[in-house]
Structure 1
Amino acid sequence: MTDLLCIPQRQTKDVHLKDQLINVIESTSYQTASFFEDELNKIACLRESISDPEHSQTKLRDLQEYFLCLNEICKKIPNDQLRFTWFDPLLQKSDGKTEYSLEFEKLNVLYNIGSCYSILALASNNGSPQALKIMCFYFQYSAGCFQHIIRHLNGCEEPIFDLNSGHSLINIMLAQAQECFWFKAIQDGHKDSLIARLAEQVSEYYEESLKFGRKAQSIRSDWCLHLESKVNYFKAVTYFRHGLSLGEKRNFGAQIKSLDIALQYLRKSDLPSKADFLGKIEELLKEIQRDNDFIYLQVVPTHIDLVKPAPMVSALPVETFMPNEPILILKDLLPINVFDACTAYNERQEEYVRQYVIDPLLSLNKLLYENLPKFELPPNLKNISKNELDSYELSLNDLKFNSGNIGVQISEIDQILKQESEIDFNSRLKYGTRNWDLVPSSKLNTVFYQKLEKLKEYLSQGRKVDQETFSLFCIIDKKLITSPIKLPESNSPLVKQVGNVVRLREKYTRDVRSKSLEHRLLPRIITEYKRTGETEFEALFLDHLKYFDIDIKYLQHQKEENNRLLNQLQLQEDASIKRVDSSTLYLEDLLHSFKLLEDVKKNLGDGANFYKSLLKSTNGLLYEVQNFENTRRLERLSVESKLNS
């Protein structure tokens, strides 16, 4: 077997992988990179070894082991943290592609595994039956690598290759694997009818590779000429063997037609092995024609039935030929989804403590203040500084900025969806609805528009609350609350008791915040993950929240205390003499402004949380829409290439 192609290896450059991994571990994990020194050295050594241009079984094993290491690293480190550069040898001129992506690195390594299998297949070509078997499997393994890459192209910003190049490479490898099977059938002396069918399948694989190769960015013109010669050569083989089979059945007229077709195909081929084969067909054809003219006298048909192909190979899944022994790389490094879970549970814990302990306690305090006698100065009431007041105004501006930022992203989402829909509409006008067989945008983007409308509605509500908060802030008598308070504190024992209760509760809210910060779920998650390997911790989190049961009991006690104090304040109010003088008016104005300020502070806090959540949702939808648009773009390119071919 000769005239076989191997796929050249992609080249890369030193990316200082160990240093990059150290930086990522130190910046994204609570663990220190020095703990993983040996494993980082192993990964860096493998990365260096796969850059070696030599091809051997050792190089193949290193590529496979490095690929499996990358699979493990992807479980522990975010995809976009490490930078890699690769060069495509199939392009006439390649400046290289660089991307912060583990998936990009994985697919390039898998490309080189496929390339290595094709090169080792040719190196094994000594004509022996065992060598043919090895070559057949290696070419199928190579096709499987390229098939896997095609299925994961959307995972990279910079595609490893275009779809046409990928499909062309797959069919080249399948054609050569089928060619091994065909040659083995000849060695084993199988019937000509079977050999013809095997050869027809070889030709069809080469024809598919040529069809995609002519439209591909990475398949050179000299390769296309070679593939065209292969198509014609194996068409000739098909009809030559088919002719032999017809001769065995004494169907000499059809045999002559089949041999004539074989001769026509072979004359179009430029393979070096063409000459001997050409002479063989011509000699046999002359002999059969002579015998038919003088002996058999059979009519030569104008056409004969097509030979049915017999596919015997396929692109084998990567899992079938990759080593299956476990790769113990960074096994003690917590995967990123565990850290994401910890972050999410921390946020939920803070929200739980705020919702069920802190906010209710502060509401109890507010209720007490609102029921103090109007002529009594609330305990602990102090004027605020101008700097503090300015900080609230800056926070109002932050809300406005966040609102505007989210509005820009919402407009970007809207624009992407509209542009994608317009392109789809124009493509249908250009190619016709029957030819343009992609699902209409209107049937796919509905779910995105529903989410978008929700986001617009939430943003509108947020802006309305922002405007109300700004109005409240403008009403506040800023000079009054920043000036020294002129009234003495109350001498009422009950009012002083209220002040003590309020101070204790405020201290309790500070303590429970500190308690929540110190009592995180992370240590229990680490223990559970190492014990089970599972990444579902909801039950663990619910059990963890029981730690705050004592604080909820404290809140219940304070509710009872509040009711008692409110009853006493009501009795004192009923027994007191109402005073309406300048001091009372001053106090009422002061308390009103402070109450407005408390409302502003609460709205600012709620607004910050609201926009944080809304921004997260908006970013998520923007990411979904960008992926949708990218997928649709690749689908359009695929359909256009078919329609324009």
Structure 2
Amino acid sequence: MIRVRSLSARTEIFSGKTVTHEDIKYEQACILYNLGALHSMLGAMDKRVSEEGMKVSCTHFQCAAGAFTYLRDHFPHSYSVDMSHQILNLNINLMLGQAQECLLEKSMLDNRKSFLVARISAQVVDYYKEACRALENSETASLLGKIQKDWKKLVQMKIYYFAAVAHLHMGKQAEEQQKFGERVIYFQSALDKLNEAIKLAKGQPETVQEALRFTMDVIGGKYNSAKKDNDFIYHEAVPALDTLQSVKGAPLVKALPVNPTDPAVTGPDIFAKLVPMAAHEASSLY
């Protein structure tokens, strides 16, 4: 978060430099940035083990995306480098990706249709690909330094992981439709993508490693069973993956609008009872 030092002086997040502007809009921009950062922290802190927890986290991440979007669209990008177009785009897509993750978890908890779960997961991939593009921008890479490599590695891991989840559920759909050759290739693709995610996950917390191991057990079991059944029972041709229809993402989240002038947000006008100087001078004559 941006640390407040004075009315119009702030410390940039990544460079550590102090930036000062004699402009009240810069103060407003800093408050909006901190609002987005606060919502992102609250979204990450919520326990997503229940439907209510998933809903609350999802809302916080969408609110964070809304704050960063308003900042990107209504304030100068020259205020500071951490308010640049690329950094804000990175923040927005990271927030939307995490919000979509919440809905993906809920869709699996609700046992939604395999094709829908695949599309929701594919959209998570799309958001993180946009975030990765922002990370690969030369100015962003220069600004972030070593952090850029760590963040890029983490985002790429998520891209492979959720692509694996999408193909796992496409394989389940093929299974439901008794397309046993397609089932094999989707599960194989899911396994390949998960292996890439595991390579990129080195150094990640044990909770991440545990989730990857669990997913490997699921996908590995599905692939081995599907291949064995097709080899010995169904004998269907296994198509090339690129001959099958790609999974189109289903965006179910958005940046929730922010209106800094809304009285419900700002509260009552603190200067409402302030007498204008002209009226004060006129009254003093009597």
**Alignment TM-score > 0.5, same fold:** yes
Matched, 1:214 2:136: yes
Partner of 1:243: 171
Gapped regions of structure 2 (runs ≥ 5): 202-207
Partner of 1:192: 114
Q: Select the structure of larger CA radius of gyration.
A: 1
Whole-Å separation in 2 of the counterparts to 1:323 and 1:184: 34
Whole-Å separation in 2 of the counterparts to 1:199 and 1:207: 13
TM-score by length of 1: 0.39
Asked if structure 1 preserves the Cα contact closer than 8 Å seen for 2:44 and 2:57, the reply is yes
Whole-Å separation in 1 of the counterparts to 2:213 and 2:153: 18
* Alignment partner of 1:10 out of 2, 16, 28: 2
Partner of 1:311: 251
Whole-Å separation in 1 of the counterparts to 2:123 and 2:88: 20
Counterparts in 2 of 1:170 and 1:117: CA distance versus 1, 3 Å:
same
TM-score by length of 2: 0.85
Partner of 2:154: 226
Whole-Å separation in 2 of the counterparts to 1:184 and 1:114: 24
Give SS of 2:8's match: strand
Partner of 2:271: 330
Deviates more, 1:123-132 or 1:210-219: 210-219
Please tell me the residue identity of whatever aligns with 1:112.
Answer: N
Asked if structure 2 preserves the Cα contact closer than 8 Å seen for 1:107 and 1:160, the reply is no
User: 1:276 offset after TM fit, Å?
Assistant: 1.9
Structure 1 outlier segments of 4+, above 6 Å? 320-323
* Alignment partner of 2:229 out of 268, 291, 295: 291
Please tell me the residue identity of whatever aligns with 1:197.
Answer: R
Determine what percentage of the aligned residue pairs are the same residue: 28
Whole-Å separation in 2 of the counterparts to 1:266 and 1:321: 46
Partner of 2:212: 274
What pairs up with 1:465-480 in 2 under 5 angstroms?
none
Whole-Å separation in 2 of the counterparts to 1:316 and 1:296: 49
Counterparts in 2 of 1:157 and 1:237: CA distance versus 1, 3 Å:
closer
Partner of 1:116: 38
User: 1:152 offset after TM fit, Å?
Assistant: 2.3
User: 1:331 offset after TM fit, Å?
Assistant: 2.1
Gapped regions of structure 1 (runs ≥ 5): 1-8, 16-82, 340-521, 528-645
Whole-Å separation in 2 of the counterparts to 1:137 and 1:306: 29
Counterparts in 2 of 1:135 and 1:154: CA distance versus 1, 3 Å:
same
User: 1:95 offset after TM fit, Å?
Assistant: 1.7
Cα deviation per residue 1:233-265 (whole Å; 9 max; x = unaligned)?
Answer: 000000001101110100010111111111111
Give SS of 2:21's match: strand
* Alignment partner of 1:142 out of 59, 64, 68: 64
Whole-Å separation in 2 of the counterparts to 1:322 and 1:182: 32
Counterparts in 2 of 1:94 and 1:192: CA distance versus 1, 3 Å:
same
Asked if structure 2 preserves the Cα contact closer than 8 Å seen for 1:260 and 1:285, the reply is yes
Cα deviation per residue 1:126-173 (whole Å; 9 max; x = unaligned)?
Answer: 411011111111100000000011112328644552211110110000
Please tell me the residue identity of whatever aligns with 1:12.
Answer: V
Whole-Å separation in 1 of the counterparts to 2:252 and 2:135: 23
Partner of 1:43: none
Please tell me the residue identity of whatever aligns with 1:310.
Answer: A
Whole-Å separation in 2 of the counterparts to 1:132 and 1:323: 29
Give SS of 1:262's match: helix
User: 1:323 offset after TM fit, Å?
Assistant: 6.6
Give SS of 2:264's match: coil
Asked if structure 1 preserves the Cα contact closer than 8 Å seen for 2:78 and 2:84, the reply is no
Cα deviation per residue 1:342-362 (whole Å; 9 max; x = unaligned)?
Answer: xxxxxxxxxxxxxxxxxxxxx
User: 1:322 offset after TM fit, Å?
Assistant: 6.9
Whole-Å separation in 1 of the counterparts to 2:194 and 2:247: 17
Whole-Å separation in 1 of the counterparts to 2:246 and 2:131: 21
Whole-Å separation in 2 of the counterparts to 1:323 and 1:205: 33
Please tell me the residue identity of whatever aligns with 1:331.
Answer: A
Whole-Å separation in 2 of the counterparts to 1:230 and 1:146: 22
User: 1:309 offset after TM fit, Å?
Assistant: 1.0
Cα deviation per residue 1:182-224 (whole Å; 9 max; x = unaligned)?
Answer: 1011111111111111000011101111111221234632111
